[in-house]
Amino acid sequence: MSTIKVGLLGFGTIGTGVVRVFQNNAQLLRQRLCKNIELVRVADLDVTTDRGVTLDEGILTTDAEAVINDPDIHIVIELIGGYEPAKSFILKAIAAGKHIVTANKALMAVHGREILAAAERQGVSVMFEAAVGGGIPIISAIKENLCANRFSSVLGILNGTCNFILTKMTEEGSDFAPVLKEAQDLGYAEADPTFDIEGVDTAHKIALLGALCFGTTVDFDQVYREGITAISALDIKFAGEMGYKIKLLAIAKNHGDQIEVRVHPTMIPDTYQLAEVDGVFNAVRLTGDFVGPTLLYGSGAGMDATASAVMGDVMAISRDQISGARLRVPVMGYCSEHIKTLQIKSMNDIVSHYYLRFTVLDQPGVLAKIAGCLGDYGISIQSMIQPERHEIDSVPIVLMTHSACEADIMKALEIIEKLDIVSQPTRLIRVENDLG
Ligand code: HSE
């Protein structure tokens, strides 16, 4: 073939970024590929909006099938997002023998197995670097550069919207609601921010990273998920006084026969590099048995950074095409017959340190009662803050526990919450003191 031909489904923000790479860096792409590469068709239902880029006549179409069934096209980029029609289009393109590049984390996390099985049967590649961490090359790091390592953990800040909100709350001492509004006004949060702020987007991403790192299937529905909507300025302030920052952390750990895959607000020591990842930036910490810990940092979203990741995949597939390599890198980084189905540890069984903020009546013996309940379940207190009275008759008591099993914490809290000295529900935030 003299020219690699590419088709694009979805001409939204990232699609526009892809067009910009093709146009601005055309010569560079050729020089790095040693062949011509061309974007020949772009399909989107909206063909009238001005995206600030001009396509040659005949490239833009409303008909996705015209891209999928074009016999000249080698690679189809899917940037529609969501489950349907993206999934059907990808399956049809695979059946038509096209290689696929997608940024669709939700689709890959939930329907990845079906798509990968179809791709394997057809002998085509599916690449999805842009699905996790925007422009950060985390998936190729796992599948290629670091593939000689056994990974013990992968942890990260994987959602720019949440990280922007938590950073602002920390810097300004503000509560969640006004900062979310500011993030929406600035275009960092969607009008319906649910997927981001409830941790769904982060859970999709860590499900993919856990599967890639540990060579296992990860059932997305079993990924524990807690968003940032309940984080208050008060908790951020107390965390700061204890030397911690609160981040929405995605955590996957390998225990051999079981794995942990979870997403929740997490307190991390403010001396950790991850604690310094602020604003819309993302970072992923990977620990391999030979390489040790590594940290990848960069723009986790946005038109240009995400287009960079998409185009990296397009170039990788193009190089394989040119060299005649076929499925050089397995889609999930392991030969499919070696992909395991490891059990995801129940949250009851995880072991962590815990930040607990009780709201109690300011009376003698209250602290002793709480400490007694915790002690009954073998939970040891590491440190404590009891600030000046905040509200009439009600005062916060903030405890940091030593390492404890989550089931014991929950049982102790159930009893504490029933005490008549407790005036509001207790806030619990898990603490990650050992990144592995
Ligand atoms: N909405 C995501 C974020 C970017 O805020 O990081 C796309 O995954």
Residue 321 CA to chain centroid, in angstroms?
A: 30
Query: What pLDDT, on the 0 to 100 scale, is given for residue 167?
Result: 98
Tell me whether domains 3-132+303-338 and 348-431 share a fold. Answer: no
- Reply yes or no on whether 143 is catalytic: no
CA distances from 191 to 147, 186, 197, 290, 321 (A): 39, 11, 12, 44, 41
- Contact residues of ligand 1, CB 6 A cut-off: 159-161, 196, 201, 300-301
Which of 139, 159, 168, 304 has most ligand 1 atoms within 8 Å of its beta carbon, as the pocket-test mutant? 159
| Alpha-carbon distances, residue 203 vs 31, 75, 132, 280 (angstroms) | 38, 28, 11, 17
Q: Are 30 and 22 in contact (CB under 8 A)?
A: no
Which residue positions in the chain have pLDDT lower than 70?
389-392, 436
Q: Which of 192, 196, 263, 299 to mutate to test the pocket of ligand 1 (most atoms within 8 A of CB)?
A: 196
- Which atom of ligand 1 is nearest the CA belonging to 301? 4
Per-residue pLDDT, 188: 86
- Give the residue from 59, 66, 61 showing the smallest Cα distance to 19: 59
- Ligand 1 atom 2: residue of nearest CA: 159
Which CATH superfamily, name and number, covers 348-431?
A: ACT domain (3.30.70.260)
Among 205, 245, 247, 253, the active-site one is 205
Average per-residue pLDDT for the chain: 96
Distance 361 CA to ligand 1 centre (A): 41
Chain-centre distance of CA 238, in angstroms? Answer: 26
In CATH terms, the fold of domain 3-132+303-338 is Rossmann fold (3.40.50)
Q: How far is the CA of 242 from the centre of ligand 1 (A)?
A: 30
Helices (H), 186-336: 194-197, 200-214, 233-241, 303-323
Domain ranges of the chain: 3-132+303-338, 138-300, 348-431
Calculate how far, in angstroms, residue 81's C-alpha sits from the geometric centre of ligand 1.
12
- With vertex at residue 418, the alpha carbon angle to CA 414 and CA 420, rounded to the nearest 5 degrees, is 150
Residue 278 Cα to ligand 1 middle (Å): 14
DSSP assignment of 143-171: IIITTTSPEEEEEEE--HHHHHHHHHHHH
At the fourth CATH level, the homologous superfamily of domain 138-300 is Dihydrodipicolinate Reductase; domain 2 (3.30.360.10)
d(CA 18, CA 304): 8
Atom of ligand 1 nearest to the CA of 160: 6
Q: Which atom of ligand 1 is nearest to the CA of 159?
A: 6
